Amino acid sequence: MRELKIFSGRANLPLAKSICEHLNLPLGRMSLANFPDGEIACKIDEDVRGRDIFIIQPTCPPVNDNLCELLIMLDSFVRASASRITAVITYYGYARQDRKDEGRVPITAKLIANMIVRAGAQRVLTMDLHAAQIQGFFDVPVDHLYAAPVLNSHFTQAKFDRELVIVSPDEGSIKRAIGHAKRLGGTLAIVDKRRSSAMETKQENIIGGPVKGKTALMFDDMISTAGSICGAAELVHAAGAKEIHVAATHGVFCGSAVQNIDKAPIASLVVTDTIPLHLEQSSPKIKVLPVGPLLAEAIKRIHHDQSISAMFSVPEPTK
């Protein structure tokens, strides 16, 4: 009876279909709609009693709608007597408030985790959390995937002519940059970023390097307004980098993000399809890389109680 079934909310249906194609499974039948007042209606259109259920639903913009839809779907499967329910949250919204950095503010990353578990998630599969410690906010097992193999493969195939420098756009991304440097080679540089508010940042200095005359590869977990990444690119360009290429797992692209990227000295930007891009978010500079095969492999391993960490245990390149 513990048959694998995959269902999807409306947040990223193309990704769910990609995962099903790689697993050679049909996408589960479910009806989702909105009442005239905006409330979400949900009905599972097939038998799921005793089944191993995976729900594909990133909490990307519109964040509150997609989050509420996920909670309603989870409750539906609990009441339909599913054996195990895994929430596949490829992008975890509300992750940026993961601690109290000043008085009288919430820790929304923990609050949302509590809501997802309380709604019925017995396991969570996610990708490149904004802060790795958020895994501990869930009172159920969390499998944390990394898009690094997909991004590294893209840049390895590019075969750049100039010497590489891997740039961390802020101090919070240093560990990520070191990991990419180990796989791709090159030196390491860090942009000193100062945040003045939730909306404004300023890039001050470059630590390490040098970047002059080199091809700079810049990695981040997400790009929202693109203010930080464009500011970092301006600083690296001013320091003499010949080309700047940017990679991020999650392309949120809020407001004028795409226009900011088009104006910035960025040669190319790659993101994955954890979040669907809309037509107005397209740009000649932006390329989307698929993570469906990676997620499909993880889902298969979870279903068969196999190791997830083994997926990322690749040998270091020989020098």
- Among 5, 193, 202, 300, which one carries the catalytic annotation? 193
Separation in Å, CA 302 to CA 50, 169, 214, 237:
16, 34, 42, 44
CA distance 207 to 15: 38
Angle at 21 between CA 17 and CA 26, to 5 degrees: 70
193 is catalytic: yes
- Using CB atoms within 10 A of its CB, is residue 68 exposed (0-12), middle (13-18) or buried (19+)? middle
- Torsion, Cα of 95, 100, 105, 109 (10° steps): 20
Euclidean distance between the first and the last CA atom of the chain, given in angstroms as a whole number:
50
Longest pairwise C-alpha distance within the chain: 62
Q: Which of the residues are catalytic?
A: 193
